[in-house]
Amino acid sequence: MAHDTAAAVRIYGKDGCPHTNRAREALPGAVFLDVLADPLALAEMLRLTNGVRRIPVIVRGAEVEIGFKRGA
């Protein structure tokens, strides 16, 4: 599945992760991409983070945030 939603906020994470869940709750309109269920999402996340395997990864346009900071 191609993830070409450049204008949307995207959250790369995994179901059941408390940090991912907090990001999803704080950003209810964001597109969620499960990196465990979708190998293409994992590959895209790793490309965006230069190989960093820490979730969630939140993408807003060209801005990539690794980890979720409350109030972000």
CATH of the domain at 13: 3.40.30.10
Q: Which amino acid is at 13?
A: G
CA distances from 66 to 1, 33, 49, 60 (A): 22, 14, 7, 12
Q: pTM of this prediction?
A: 0.85
- Where does residue 37 rank: exposed (0-12), middle (13-18), buried (19+ CB within 10 A)? exposed
Number of domain units in the chain: 1
Assess if residue 4 is contained within a domain. no
Torsion, Cα 25 27 31 33, to 10 degrees, reads -50
pLDDT at 55 over 80: yes
Domain interval for residue 24: 9-66
The predicted-structure confidence for 11-46, as pLDDT tens digits, reads as follows: 999 999 999 999 999 999 999 999 999 999 999 999
